[in-house]
Amino acid sequence: MSLRKKIKEILASDQKDYEVVINGWVRTFRNNQFIAVNDGSTIHTLQVVIDKDSLTEDEIKKINTGAAIKAQGTVVESQGSGQKVEIKASQVTILGEADPSKYPLQPKRHSLEFLREIAHLRFRTNTFGAVFRVRHSIAFAIHKFFNDKGFYYLHTPIITGSDAEGAGEMFQVTTLDLKNIPLTNDNEINFKEDFFNKATNLTVSGQLEAELGALALTDVYTFGPTFRAENSNTSRHLAEFWMIEPEMAFADLNDDMDLAEELLKYVIQYCIDQNPDDLDFLEERLTQEESQKPQIERSEMKLIEKLKFCVENDFERLTYTEAIRILMNSKPNKKKKFQYVIEEWGTDLQSEHERYLVEKHFKKPVILTDYPKEIKAFYMRLNEDDTTVRAMDILFPGIGEIVGGSQREERLDVLLERMKAFDIPAEEMDWFLDTRRYGTCEHAGFGLGLERLVQFITGMSNIRDVIPFPRFPGNAEF
C-alpha cells in the first residue's frame, strides 16, 4: 500500500505517529533543519524536520525555495508553535532543484503585475494557489447545482458559422493562405475555398444553440470558453473567458431571475463551506491591498462578510425605468460627477451607473429588468408596451454586470420583425427560426461570466488574475 498522502489530508486529521510519504515544493528552509513544504492541496505548508546526518552537505545545499522534494517519515505532534503536526523525516529526496540565483519566486512579496509576467510560475504563490482552488470549487459547484436540478450539460460549438450576434467583436477562423487570399469575381474574399466553405468565427455565446437544446430537453446549460475581440482594456474584460448559459423551456423572466439568484447564492455558499482557509487568506490579502487606498474607496465589508451578506439577502429587483429615475435624481448625476451624465430615458448604463446603484444606493446585488429594446439583442421578448424587452442584468458590488439574460421572443412574427429592425438576414437563421415554427414555447436563459464570479468571490480586482493564462489585447503569452 502506498504511504503517500496529500498535505491537506495530513493537516486535517488528528491522527499521529504514523508513517507517510509526501511530495511538494519547498517554500522556505530554516536552520538547515525545517522545511516548509506546500503541495497545492491547501494554502498551508507542512513542516518537515530533517535529520541532518541523513543528508550530505551537497544534498542540503539543494533544499532551496522552489525545489521539488519527496519526504518519508513519521507524523508527530509539532514541537514548535504554528502547526499541530509535522513530519520527522527519515528520508528526504530532492526531485527537482531550483537554483536560488535564478528562481524568480523567492519568499517575499511580489506585485500582481510582476506575477502576471511569470504566469507560468504564479500558481506556486499563496495568492494564486488560493484563487485557482476557489475557481475549481466554483466550476464544480456550478455543475453540481445544475445536475441536481435536472439540467443537462450541453456542449455547443466553439467554431461557429453563425454571426448573428456582435459580428464586429468576433475572431475569425480560417485556413486560407493570408498571403494569397482567393477572391470572387466581385473582388470579395472567397470563403467557398475556406475550410468550412464559408466564413467562420470563434463563438461569442452558446445561447442560440442552447435554445435549440432546451426546446427538446427542457432544461440545459452550457459551460465553455467564449471569445470576444473587443478592444477593451478593462479589469473586467478578457478576450477569452468562460461562460455558463442555462436555458429553460416553459419558463419566463421571473423563473430566469430566480434561477440566477439561486445559482449565485449556492455557488458562493459552496465556496464558504469548501474553501474557508483560502478565503481567510484572500480576505487578509484584500484588506492589506485596500489599506493602501483612500478611505472612500475601501469596501465597507470584509470579503467573507460580503459573501455571506450576498447569500443571506434577496437581490433588489427593479426595472430599467426605475433605475434611470434613481440615477437621474442622484447626486453624481446632478453634479455632473459621472463621466457619462444621464440625460434621458433610453441611454445604456455605463459601469459607473451600475456601480452607483449597487454600491451606493441599494448596497446589495441588484437585478435590472425591462430595458429599452434598442439597446438589447434581437431575441429578447418584446413587452406589451412595444418599447422595452424582457431582459435582466444582475449587478454585483465591485464588479458591475455579472449576469445578462432574458426571456426569449418565442413568437415567430414578432421575432422576424425584430430581426428586420436589426438587419439580421432571416435566411441565415433558418435553423433558429424552426424552433419558433415547430412547437415554440415560452423560454428564458442567461449568461454568467465565470471569471467575474471568481473575481467577486476571491476579491481579486483584476480579471487577468483569476484565469490561469489571460488573453487580452496585445497578449497571448503561454
Q: Is 449 in the site for ligand ATP (CB under 6 A)?
A: yes
Q: How far is the CB of 248 from ligand ATP (least distance, A)?
A: 17
Single-letter code of the amino acid located at 60? I
Q: Is 238 in the site for ligand ATP (CB under 6 A)?
A: yes
Q: How far is the CB of 172 from ligand ATP (least distance, A)?
A: 17
Cβ neighbour number for residue 425 with a 10 Å cutoff: 10
Residue 240 burial class via C-beta count within 10 angstroms: exposed 0-12, middle 13-18, buried 19 and up = middle
Of 130, 451, 455, 457, the one binding ligand ATP (CB under 6 A) is: 451
**Closest-CA residue to 315 (of 269, 250, 366):** 366
Q: How far is the CB of 451 from ligand ATP (least distance, A)?
A: 5
Closer Cβ to ligand ATP, 73 or 365, answer by number: 365
Q: Is 445 in the site for ligand ATP (CB under 6 A)?
A: no
Rounded Cα gap, residues 429 and 165, in angstroms: 11
CB 12 within 8 A of CB 21: no
Question: Which region, judged by CB under 6 A, interacts with ligand ATP, from 72-80, 123-131, 400-408, 418-426?
Answer: 400-408
Q: Is 246 in the site for ligand ATP (CB under 6 A)?
A: no
| Residue 74 phi, psi (nearest 5) | -105, 135
Return the biggest CA–CA distance within the chain: 84
Q: How far is the CB of 469 from ligand ATP (least distance, A)?
A: 14
Residue that is written with C-alpha cell 440615477 in the block? 327
Q: How far is the CB of 286 from ligand ATP (least distance, A)?
A: 20
Collapse the DSSP code of 389 into the 3-class scheme (helix H, G, I; strand E, B; otherwise coil) and give the result: strand
Collapse the DSSP code of 110 into the 3-class scheme (helix H, G, I; strand E, B; otherwise coil) and give the result: coil
Rounded Cα gap, residues 339 and 343, in angstroms: 12
Closer Cβ to ligand ATP, 130 or 243, answer by number: 243
User: Measured between alpha carbons, how far is residue 419 from residues 166, 297, 406, 432, 437 in Å?
Assistant: 13, 43, 16, 12, 15
Closer Cβ to ligand ATP, 252 or 401, answer by number: 401
Of 7, 55, 249, 402, the one binding ligand ATP (CB under 6 A) is: 402
Element (H, E) at 200: strand 200-202
Element (H, E) at 114: helix 112-117
Of 29, 241, 379, 456, the one binding ligand ATP (CB under 6 A) is: 241
Of 11, 69, 243, 358, the one binding ligand ATP (CB under 6 A) is: 243
Closer Cβ to ligand ATP, 50 or 243, answer by number: 243
DSSP β-ladder status, 316-319 and 240-249: unpaired
Q: Is 447 in the site for ligand ATP (CB under 6 A)?
A: yes
Taking the CA of residue 393 as centre, how many other CA atoms within 13 Å lie in the half-sphere pointing to its CB? 25
Q: Is 401 in the site for ligand ATP (CB under 6 A)?
A: yes
**Closest-CA residue to 108 (of 28, 50, 210):** 28
Q: Is 443 in the site for ligand ATP (CB under 6 A)?
A: no
Of 5, 228, 265, 373, the one binding ligand ATP (CB under 6 A) is: 228
Residues 90-119, interacting with ligand ATP (CB under 6 A): none
Q: Is 24 in the site for ligand ATP (CB under 6 A)?
A: no
Q: Is 310 in the site for ligand ATP (CB under 6 A)?
A: no
What residue ranges bind ligand ATP (CB under 6 A)?
Answer: 228, 237-238, 241, 243, 401-404, 447, 449, 451-452
